[in-house]
Copies of this chain bind each other. A is one copy, B any other.
Amino acid sequence: MSTDDPSSVSRTRVRRETRQRVRAVYPAPVPFIQRAIPPYEMLEEEQLVSVEHHADRILQEIGMEIRGDAAALRLWKDAGADIRGESRVHVPLGLARQIVKRSAPAEFIQYARNPDRSVLIGGRATVFAPAYGPPFVCDADGGRRYGTIQDFRNFVKLAYMSPWLHHSGGTVCEPTDLPVNKRHFDMLYAHMTLSDKPFMGSVTSAARAADSIEMCRLLFGAEYLDTHCVILGNVNVNSPLVLDGEASRVIRTYAAANQAPVCVPFILGGAMGPVSTAGALAQCFAEAVFCVALSQLERPGSPVILGNFLSSMSLKSGAPTFGTPEPPLAYFAIGQLARRLGVPLRCGGNLCASKLPDAQAAYESASSLWPAFMAGANFVLHAAGWLEAGLSMSYEKFVMDAEQCGAFHVVGRGLTLDDNGFAMDAFQEVGPGSHFLGSAHTLRNYETAFFDFELSDNNSFEQWSQEGGHDIVWRANQKWKAMLDAYQAPVIDGATRDSLLAYVAHRKASMPDMNY
């Protein structure tokens, strides 16, 4: 395993100044958001019951297929499902939700190696994690290219440094310069050593999921893992209504180790689900509940997240679209359904289809993150960096998105309706027609009053023009470079590091490089 490159030596004045600005606005980090404001309740009781009923009907009348995992089929049979043919699981009305309600925790802690960075998942907590899975990366200097392990490490560092991202994520980009069957070792090693935030493990095969958990045993201690969740695995359903055996084994592997699978139907309306949002919602909920229930059949009480990934489709091209108004409606509904079920919810992210971090990207992203937050999402994957329908990870968009996540820390806090908040003393002092700039109340509260977007330019047109007339992408480009320049790795125990390296070396040597 190559060691990480030292950060660039050439440091221009601009870089230094930008770095100082970066430091200056860093507030004390919080490990996660605890929302003081309620989630948005869109549907009424009878409407929610109707969605649940249709999801139940899908599982009963159509059923889910589990292809090539006899143990999973047996678990469902023993639980009372009707297995038809080789692999079709028909679930009696309401059974899947009952299984979940019986044992799935409403919230759980994902422990980080730095205890101050452990996150609560569920309830009124919201956790932001970087984008997941892009094979490409891009930046304003070099454009778009295949991702490498160096890019991967860069994004782990940037997420580590951001006060607004609570989680290191998983496949922050595909390290395409490494063999497919060994990438997960390098990815996990990067998450474990370059950051001390919580992270996600491999899901591309049950063996790689097991490797991920094994590395966590080395990092946290084997006994610790049996009683503490330290890793998430994001598992996609093969929508519609299929869970392939590898996916079901990955769910079971995480659950058996008391770690948390994130069960995510991936539905592009009109392709993997119906074009109508209500139908896609019911399907999405059915598939997710089915997978969450499987985790509970494998190990009752194990932590799990109910996910959803819904997208609409361009009428012109059939391409997936983001930032459109249909997914928000599904988010709002599934937020309510998850709360009724009592399980943590993953949804949303700064999703977009744009190829550039332009206004299209930002409108789309905000129109995905706002409804996700209002829906009460507990775990927001893809919260930073996502571009081009998830095909590309953008350095500039990463830091731009992270700041947007920052603003939700303030939204989540709600209004402070106390004497200082209402500021009657300021009105008494200032009176009509004057200004509050020098009032005692202003001086007392000024520094913490407003969230300040570091990347936003709020100067006058004249000053902005004099300084070059740059757009936000230019400023974001300065910022991520300054952050990487200023990066300092968190301390890790040498023996732990050696044991991880030894495990990785041993496992890598045990198999040939493969690209599948």
Contacts and interface: CB of A to CB of B under 8 A. Distances in A.
A328 interface: yes
A514 interface: no
User: How many copies of the chain does the oligomer comprise?
Assistant: 2
B370 A366 contact: yes
A356 interface: yes
B277 A460 contact: no
Given A354-B472, A359-B471, A436-B273, A414 B329 contact: yes
A420 B276 contact: yes
A282 B416 CA distance: 12
Interface in A303-344: 312-321, 323-326, 328-330, 332-333
A54 interface: yes
B446 A328 contact: no
Contact of A42 (B333, B414, B424, B446): B414
Contacts of A367: 366, 370, 404, 407
A433 B40 contact: no
Contacts of A400: 359, 363
Contact of A473 (B316, B359, B365, B457): B359
A124 to B, nearest CB: 14
Interface stretch (A5-13, A201-209, A216-224, A448-456): A448-456
B333 A446 contact: no
Contacts of A271: 435-437
A1 interface: no
Contact of A427 (B283, B354, B374, B447): B283
Interface stretch (A43-51, A155-163, A245-253): A43-51
Interface stretch (A60-68, A93-101, A167-175, A187-195): A60-68
A272 interface: yes
A458 interface: yes
Interface in A254-274: 269-274
B276 A432 contact: no
Interface stretch (A113-121, A178-186, A236-244): A236-244
Contacts of A40: 40, 374
Contacts of A446: 270, 275, 315
A4 B63 CA distance: 65
Contacts of A366: 362-363, 366-367, 370
A210 interface: no
B422 A279 contact: yes
A105 B85 CA distance: 65
A273 to B, nearest CB: 6
Interface of A: 37-38, 40-43, 47, 50-51, 54, 57-58, 61-65, 88, 144, 238, 240-242, 269-279, 281-283, 312-321, 323-326, 328-330, 332-333, 353-367, 370-371, 374, 388-389, 391-392, 397, 400, 404, 407-411, 414-418, 420-424, 426-428, 430-437, 439, 441-442, 445-447, 449-453, 455-461, 464-465, 469, 471-473
Given A238-B433, A315-B446, A353-B458, 13 more contacts: A240-B427, A274-B427, A275-B441, A312-B449, A317-B458, A317-B459, A321-B453, A324-B453, A325-B451, A329-B411, A353-B456, A356-B471, A360-B455
20 contacts: A54-B422, A61-B428, A64-B432, A240-B431, A240-B436, A242-B433, A274-B441, A276-B422, A276-B449, A277-B415, A277-B421, A278-B417, A279-B421, A279-B424, A279-B427, A282-B422, A312-B450, A320-B458, A359-B359, A363-B404
